[in-house]
Amino acid sequence: MYDYREPWKIKVSSAVNAILNDAGIDGVIEPDQVIAENPPNPEMGDIGFPMFAYAKLLRKGPPQIAQMTAEKLAKIIVEEKSGAKVQAQGPYLNVSLDRALEAKAVLSQKFSAEKILAGKKIMVEFSSPNTNKPLHLGHLRNDVLGESVSRILSACGADVRKVCIINDRGIHICKSMLAYAEHGQGKTPQSEGVKSDRFVGDWYVCFSRELKAEVDELVKSGVNKDDAETQAPLMKKAQELLRKWEAGDGETIELWKKMNSWAIDGMKETYKRTGVSFDKYYFESETYMLGKDEVLKGLEKGIFFRQEDGAVAVDLSGEKLDKKILLRSDGTSIYITQDFGTAINRHKDWPFDKMIYVVGSEQQYHFKVLFILLEKLGFEWAKNLYHLSYGMVNLPEGKMKSREGTVVDADDLIDSLRDMALAEIREKEREGEVGDPQKVAEKIAIAALHYFLLQPSPVKDMLFDPNESLSFNGNTGPYLQYMGARISSMLRKAGEEGAEKDIAPKEADFSLLVSDSEWDLIKSLAAYSSAVREAAENLDPSQITAYLYELSKAFSRFYHDCPILNAGDPALSKARLELSRAVMFVLKDAFHLICIPFLEVM
């Protein structure tokens, strides 16, 4: 995509090279090495080139170099017959562009990311739930981060495969199974009219409640807390159930299958609702045995050792990490065990150039250990594994606490956002205009949620504020949707077909768009592909949300300053309308990258 800075980097590099040449100094500055900045204020020009980096090579002060470069460039400009101006200002060389010329160049193109990742196979793992509870707010951040990063990488040309590991076995699963086995009386999600993953989660809550009562009882009788937790009869029963499961006991497996499919079916409904999807699901129950084998192989090779109690462990003090258990003393596998098998299977299925794990920051240690051990086990590709770690999401005090009082279910949160959006539509008396108010409210809710969650950089912990996320004016998803809807409606009013489609700007006399606010908007459009590239390079969708906010501010100014449909001059109207269409095109493209639905009417 055309970026007005690029041709100037070439010009500046050749000017500096000419100066070097004149002075008989060996050395070449490549266009890529030229730093281009946005000058602090618009009067200084459109691009600022700091000259500090060339001082040593040229043995001159930056202001003098700026002066000399300006003289060289002035000649080129005259030859090119462009209306650009260059000016040395202290250590900077500032360039003011020919607006009419640039407007044409920017608006006569298709806006899209550069394919810098063409030919790369990138696997992205995200969401990765356990099957004992429904998805919660933390998963919503994970899901949108994983989905968005995947979309950004594919926009840059990568071949992306989205995967999910379902942690469907282990003690936590046995807990909800046990509670259901003891009190379920054959009830089903259908018989109770409850979403199926929540139905399973409710049994987990039931188990936790009963276990707590047992532990409290033991503590009262003088047992210390840790011991009470292992001694509690319910805990023992859950462990017994896990052993039965690992032994393949028929009845246990049947119950497990039933409850897991309830959990997974329910989660898939939530994924569908938020626009998240996977190319392949992996299941811990299918990979943990392979994981165990690998651990035992490592034991044979002497990479791991067996402790006195029979557990297999590894000593990572050489890597400045602790000792880590890899298999329990009773031979059952733990959380990390399956990850060996899962990674190996994935690489066999689809030999990736890179695999990204989108997982919370509390698991940094886990992934450090996993990557080191896979490398020790001899898997070359282990060096291409990356943990994209993200921070916690909290809710403001007193808001939407879940039944357990700690986390809030994803579905509940989206429901309340939708209801709030619906109330707003009603209050504004827009029900008649928007088509199906429920559907529109749902899309506003998703936009509010996703934009808010992607806005801080992934590593940061954050507070999700439902009211703020839904605000129609401010740096929010709904505000951006509103801007898109406004342009759609303008195109409809102008009798333009294609208000609904992604159409690049049509032919118009773009050289008319030279006022300050038109020019700012055009420059902002030109920066789209570099925003996407940066987001891909840093695996950080917040670069796109930040870009969209700048674009929206530039559009608002333009919309305020420049009448469009009644500009007086039909050619100017047309050019402004097409400029607006370009904004809509970029909005739609970027919305897709950050998982925000586009609305034609709002």
Q: Which amino acid is at 417?
A: L
CB of 489 to ligand ARG, least distance (A): 44
Residues that bind ligand ARG (CB under 6 A): 125, 128-130, 165, 167, 339, 342, 357, 359
* Of residues 410, 502, 539, 575, the one with CA closest to residue 147: 539
CB of 561 to ligand ARG, least distance (A): 50
Query: Nearer to ligand ARG by C-beta: 387 or 418?
Result: 387
Query: Nearer to ligand ARG by C-beta: 337 or 488?
Result: 337
* Of residues 128, 133, 219, 127, the one with CA closest to residue 175: 133
For residues 36 and 5, the answer to whether their CB atoms sit within 8 Å is: yes
CB of 128 to ligand ARG, least distance (A): 4
Which segments of 115-247 does DSSP mark as H helices, in order?
137-155, 171-183, 189-192, 196-220, 225-231, 233-246
CB of 558 to ligand ARG, least distance (A): 45
Query: Nearer to ligand ARG by C-beta: 339 or 409?
Result: 339
CB of 338 to ligand ARG, least distance (A): 8
Q: Would you say the C-alpha torsion 565, 568, 574, 577 has a positive or negative sign?
A: negative
Measuring CA to CA, how many Å separate 308 from each of 77, 311, 336?
Answer: 80, 7, 21
Query: Nearer to ligand ARG by C-beta: 388 or 512?
Result: 388
Query: Nearer to ligand ARG by C-beta: 227 or 461?
Result: 461
In the block, which residue shows the tokens 């890529």?
32
DSSP 361: G
CB of 343 to ligand ARG, least distance (A): 8
CB of 125 to ligand ARG, least distance (A): 6
CB of 282 to ligand ARG, least distance (A): 8
- The rounded distance, in Å, linking the Cα atoms of 90 and 432 is 60
Query: Nearer to ligand ARG by C-beta: 45 or 266?
Result: 266
Query: Nearer to ligand ARG by C-beta: 326 or 584?
Result: 326
Coil/strand/helix, residue 76? helix
- The rounded distance, in Å, linking the Cα atoms of 197 and 111 is 41
Neighbouring CB atoms inside 10 A of 384's CB total 16
- The rounded distance, in Å, linking the Cα atoms of 10 and 5 is 9
Partners of 355 in beta bridges: 123, 385
For residues 91 and 51, the answer to whether their CB atoms sit within 8 Å is: yes
Query: Nearer to ligand ARG by C-beta: 60 or 366?
Result: 366
For residues 547 and 528, the answer to whether their CB atoms sit within 8 Å is: yes
Query: Nearer to ligand ARG by C-beta: 128 or 285?
Result: 128
Query: Nearer to ligand ARG by C-beta: 261 or 389?
Result: 389
For residues 249 and 263, the answer to whether their CB atoms sit within 8 Å is: no
CB of 283 to ligand ARG, least distance (A): 11
Q: Which amino acid is at 546?
A: A
Neighbouring CB atoms inside 10 A of 260's CB total 21
Phi and psi at 569, nearest 5°, equal -105, 120
Order of strands across the sheet with 323-327? 305-306, 312-315, 323-327
Residue nearest ligand ARG by beta-carbon distance: 128
CB of 165 to ligand ARG, least distance (A): 5
